[in-house]
Structures are given as structure tokens and as C-alpha cells.
């Protein structure tokens, strides 16, 4: 079951490249209601359609957050940008060992179905990767980022 959840998280991260921007009035009412209940004071939300899900990007308690909802309003995943220094020590150790010379450009904590994973975007020269780790520092997914011309 845990592997199934991790696969779902990885697929969710992969599908981010296929997003379609939406306006608030294009959302299912269940999604709007669920968002307002979970984040009642949030303003300036940007919505995108992610396959059959809806992603809200916003600032919450001084953090950049994205929350993924299904059409019924259930939260599938919440990704919160974190400081690179806030990555778990096991993740930092693996990065130091296996990605020496790479710079961590961004980091995030991802929670989906009570499972927490961590994402690190690393770069060295023109080579750039998104890495997904378990809390105990196991590399779950490595995806090369496309080069920008």
C-alpha cells in the first residue's frame, strides 16, 4: 500500500507539466468549498487543472503552498516549499554523498495520504534534476529537468 501511495505521488509530480490554468468560476463547487474550509483566509489563489485534479497555488502562513484536490473536493496532496536546510538529515546526507558538486536550488515537503516525502531540485552546470526522497533518505524518483534554451 505504501508503495502505491509513493507511486501516486511520483505520478502527480510528473503530471505537473500538463497543467491548464483555470479561473475560480471554472472549479467544481466541491473543490471551492473544500479549499475555503481548509484555507479560509487565503486570498490570491492560482488554479490549474492537473489531469482530473485541481491544483491551488498560494501563500499560507508565509510559505508557498500548492494543494491538489480531486473533483469531489478531497485533498490528494499538499506541497510546501521549505528551506534547503529544513530537509531531513538523511536526505541531506544522501545529497552530499551522491550529488556532490550539485547545488540544491529548491526544496519542498510533500504530504499525500499521510505519507511525507521531500523534493529537492538540484543543479550542476547545465544538468538539473528533481529528486523525490522518503523521510528516511531513500531516493524514490529522479527526473531530469528539461534544458531551457
CATH of the domain at 11: 3.10.450.360
Of the listed ranges 8-17, 64-73, 79-88, the one predicted with least confidence: 8-17
Residues 26, 3 contacting (CB under 8 angstroms): no
More confident residue, 58 or 16: 58
Mean pLDDT of the chain: 87
In sequence order, the 6+-apart residues with CB closer than 8 A to the CB of 140 are 6, 9, 10, 117, 132, 133, 134
Residue 146 has pLDDT above 80, yes or no: no
Residue 23 has what pLDDT? 65
CB 107 within 8 A of CB 118: yes
In a domain, 104, yes or no: yes
Residue 26: is its pLDDT beyond 50? yes
* pLDDT value of position 25: 65
pLDDT of 5 > 90? The answer is: no
Looking at the domain assignment, is residue 136 inside a domain?
yes
Whether 149 maps to a domain, the answer reads: no
Nearest CA to 137 out of 103, 90, 98 is that of 90
Answer whether residue 7 is part of any domain. Answer: yes
Tally of domains in the chain = 1
Count Cβ atoms below 10 Å from residue 106 Cβ, excluding itself: 14
Q: Which domain does 16 fall in, by range?
A: 2-144
Q: The cell 471554472 sits on which residue? A: 26
The residue-averaged pLDDT of 100-116 equals 96
Q: Cell 492560482 appears where? A: 46
**What is the C-alpha separation between 30 and 54, in angstroms, rounded?**
11
Q: Could you tell me the pTM of the whole model?
A: 0.80
pLDDT at 8 over 50: no
The band of 21, judged by pLDDT with boundaries at 50, 70 and 90, is confident
CB atoms within 10 A of CB 47: 21
Amino acid at each position: 500500500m505504501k508503495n502505491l501511495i509513493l507511486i501516486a505521488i511520483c505520478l502527480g509530480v510528473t503530471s505537473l507539466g500538463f497543467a491548464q490554468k483555470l479561473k475560480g468560476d471554472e472549479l467544481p463547487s466541491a473543490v471551492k468549498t473544500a479549499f475555503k474550509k481548509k484555507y479560509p483566509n487565503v486570498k490570491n489563489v492560482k488554479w490549474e487543472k492537473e489531469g482530473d485534479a485541481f491544483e491551488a497555488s498560494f501563500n499560507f502562513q508565509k510559505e508557498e503552498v500548492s494543494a491538489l484536490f480531486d473533483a469531489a473536493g478531497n485533498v490528494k496532496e499538499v506541497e510546501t516549499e521549505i528551506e534547503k536546510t529544513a530537509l531531513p538529515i538523511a536526505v541531506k546526507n544522501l545529497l552530499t554523498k551522491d550529488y556532490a558538486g550539485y547545488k540544491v536550488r529548491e526544496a519542498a515537503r510533500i504530504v499525500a495520504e499521510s505519507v511525507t516525502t521531500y523534493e529537492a531540485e538540484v543543479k550542476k552546470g547545465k544538468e538539473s534534476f528533481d529528486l523525490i526522497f522518503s523521510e528516511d533518505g531513500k531516493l524514490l524518483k529522479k527526473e531530469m529537468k528539461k534544458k531551457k534554451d
